[in-house]
Amino acid sequence: MFEIKVEGADELLKKFETFGKQLDELHKQMPEELVDWQRTDMRRKYPNIEVSGAKDATTAETDIWPRSRAEQPGSGFTRPKRPVVAAPKQYRLRGAGRQPSSTRPILRTELFTKLVDRMAKLLGEAMKWP
């Protein structure tokens, strides 16, 4: 009846195996690149990163705070108490309450752009067809 012959399948399988190895290396390189971004671009002395993953997927994440990590609830950090000094009473306008919080983003646009550029470069190098 019908007979199908495929020649050159061994070479294609070798290319797929090489591509699979590149992807496995990418799972290791992505968290390393995130740590390097924190050290160089964010200038963090102690970068924090959480990596979780299985064989097929790796997740690397970091936390970025609007203020110091030590000031977060539950950190055990307390500000030193200032001595109370008698001063003249300052009156506020009626209805003037707390100052509104800043609308500035926690992660600056320049830092995010650098992270995206780093990851795109890493993906471009890792995803080349052998």
Pick the residue with more confidence: 39 or 65? 39
- 27-45 tens-digit pLDDT: 888 889 999 999 999 888 8
Pick the residue with more confidence: 1 or 3? 3
Distance from CA of residue 99 to its chain's centroid? 30
- Mean pLDDT on 63-91: 72
pLDDT for position 70:
66
Share of the chain above pLDDT 90, in %: 15
What residues contact 60, with CB distance under 8 A and at least 6 apart?
A: 30, 31, 34, 49, 50, 51
Cβ atoms < 10 Å from Cβ of 60: 16
- 84-120 tens-digit pLDDT: 777 777 776 766 667 667 777 788 889 999 999 999 9
CA separation, residue 128 to residues 16, 26, 100, 107 (Å):
12, 12, 49, 31
CA separation, residue 88 to residues 51, 56, 58, 91 (Å):
54, 66, 59, 10
